[in-house]
């Protein structure tokens, strides 16, 4: 049962990261860009260095979700909730 909960939470984190990317670079939302940067920095601090790719505007759509999955893997629900996102 906890596996299902963890997987569900991971999907919510991934979706949130994808939405932040879209708002940050397609919607030019400054707060979304700042939040995305903070979350990517947390991932960097935890050892996932490839996450910085997510800070580049204009990524091909097919690349965004896999990168978000990888960044999400080193984040926790608390990381996003502390920034005001419900996961």
Rounded CA-CA distance 4/51 in Å is 25
Query: At 2, is the pLDDT very low, low, confident or very high (cuts 50, 70, 90)?
Result: very low
Give the rounded percent of residues in the chain with a pLDDT score beyond 70: 90
Residue 80 neighbours by CB distance under 10 Å: 22
Rounded CA-CA distance 45/23 in Å is 24
Rounded CA-CA distance 29/44 in Å is 22
Q: How high is the pLDDT of residue 73?
A: 92
Structure tokens at 1: 């049962």
């Amino acid at each position: 049962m906890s596996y299902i909960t963890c997987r569900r939470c991971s999907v919510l984190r991934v979706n949130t990261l994808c939405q932040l990317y879209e708002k940050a670079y397609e919607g030019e939302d400054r707060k979304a860009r700042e939040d995305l940067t903070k979350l990517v920095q947390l991932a960097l601090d935890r050892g996932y260095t490839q996450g910085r790719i997510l800070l580049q505007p204009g990524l091909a759509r097919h690349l965004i979700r896999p990168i978000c999955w990888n960044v999400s893997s080193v984040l926790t629900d608390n990381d996003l909730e502390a920034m005001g996102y419900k996961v």
